[in-house]
Amino acid sequence: MELTNTSVLNALRHVDDPDIKKDLVTLNMIQDIEIEGNKLSFTVMLTTPACPLKEVIKNDCLKAIEEHIGSDVEVDILMSSHVTTTRDNTPLLPGVKNIIAVASGKGGVGKSTVTANLAVALARQGAKVGIIDADIFGPSMPTMFNCEHEQPGIRKEGEKNLIIPIEQYGIKLISIGFLTPAENAVVWRGPMASSALKQFIGDTEWGELDYLFIDLPPGTSDIHLTLVQTVPVTGVVLVTTPQKVALADAQKGLNMFMQQQINVPILGVVENMAYFTPEELPDNKYHIFGKDGGKKLAQKHDVPFLGEIPLVQGIREGGDIGYPAIMQEGPTSDAFMQVAEATAQRVAIRNAEKAETKKVELKV
């Protein structure tokens, strides 16, 4: 078959995006086709830089060109990405493509640890990422990002004072912990906490972001309601540990977001502290909190399971010194990277399949 733009597109119509289950040409993912003699180059525009199926898609493209055009074509494929969004013309957070709430039922299950590591993982893959630490009961992001003593700047824009987020490890970050010493955080209950969250959303200079994570307080609270009433949330990541008492609370968290009046898509469940593993013996796994609790919870509610993170001393140490574990190579960072990729993949699928989430209008 002759090598032309049309024959290339026809060949690539045989390659499906394995998640969205439509072909790459229909999805407008093939760009910049260039042909010179028997040399062909083109770009595949993925829906996230953290696409776990990058290699599968690339190989499928190579196979399709060989099968439908010929084996003598020299093919050079550039894998690039453009993160998708369903958000459109919203006055709040106009440059933010996806808002991901991270929730848990119980406290202390590692919600902030997972948020910090997922955010850094996606930034390392090339995404633009921010975090709002809305955990008023225990704002831990300043510690986890080693910026406890930093103060966000303020920029005047007309009548408005805009907060400038702190930047650390490529992440834009704002926390209730920057506004009040951690030991006073408990006074930020109720309306004050809600108005602080609104300020973080409405009066902060976020610029362009692919993913903005919101680290919520544990359980279900006014802050959760404020969030879903203020902006359309793309989806929720629910973090749980595998034991029965944590799962019972996690279920309440899921129910809150899934109930009809709120109806925020669940991107999936992360099982943290899934098993203990000594760093020097990574093949030894001890299921001290039980096995597969998070996976079973996801199955029961028919929501995706995003993966498991082991209980490892280095994760706690990384949190305490403000150097997220994902930044050190090894099985722990691989586990976080897999969960980050699964989350980004779920965002892309959600954006392909569902319309923008509706902001919640609750009548009281």
Ligand X SMILES: Nc1ncnc2c1ncn2[C@@H]1O[C@H](COP(=O)(O)OP(=O)(O)OP(=O)(O)O)[C@@H](O)[C@H]1O
Orientation of helix 190-202 relative to helix 222-230, angle to 10°: 30
Calculate the dihedral angle through the C-alpha atoms of 56, 15, 31, 356, rounding to the nearest 10 degrees. Answer: -90
Which residue from 18, 94, 108, 191 is in contact with ligand X, where contact means CB under 6 A?
108
Alpha-helix residue ranges (DSSP H) falling in 79-181:
111-124, 141-144
Nearer to ligand X, 140 or 226 (CB): 140
Contact 146, 323 (CB under 8 A): yes
Residue-wise burial string across 169-198, b where 16 or more C-beta atoms lie within 10 A, e elsewhere: bebbbbbbbbbbeeeebeebeeeebbebbb
Subset of 205-244 contacting ligand X (CB under 6 A): 218
In the complex, minimum distance from the CB of residue 156 to ligand X, in angstroms, rounded to a whole number = 34
Binding-site members for ATP are 105-112
User: Which range of residues in 111-119, 202-210, 254-262, 345-353 is near ligand X by CB under 6 A?
Assistant: 111-119
Contact 3, 73 (CB under 8 A): yes
In the complex, minimum distance from the CB of residue 97 to ligand X, in angstroms, rounded to a whole number = 25
Residue 319 near ligand X by CB under 6 A: yes
In the complex, minimum distance from the CB of residue 90 to ligand X, in angstroms, rounded to a whole number = 28
Q: How many residues bind to ligand X according to rule CB under 6 A?
A: 20
Contact 272, 110 (CB under 8 A): yes
Residue 104 near ligand X by CB under 6 A: yes
Subset of 322-361 contacting ligand X (CB under 6 A): none
Q: What's at 322, amino acid-wise? A: G
Subset of 256-275 contacting ligand X (CB under 6 A): 272-273
Subset of 119-138 contacting ligand X (CB under 6 A): 135, 138
Which residue from 311, 340, 347, 348 is in contact with ligand X, where contact means CB under 6 A?
311
Subset of 136-155 contacting ligand X (CB under 6 A): 138, 140
Nearer to ligand X, 135 or 210 (CB): 135
Residues 45, 46, 48, 52, CA torsion sign: negative
Contact 283, 246 (CB under 8 A): no
Residue 175 near ligand X by CB under 6 A: no
In the complex, minimum distance from the CB of residue 219 to ligand X, in angstroms, rounded to a whole number = 9
Contact 105, 252 (CB under 8 A): yes
Contact 287, 308 (CB under 8 A): no
Nearer to ligand X, 114 or 122 (CB): 114
Q: Which residues bind ligand X (CB under 6 A)?
A: 104, 107-113, 135, 138, 140, 218, 272-273, 309, 311-312, 315-316, 319
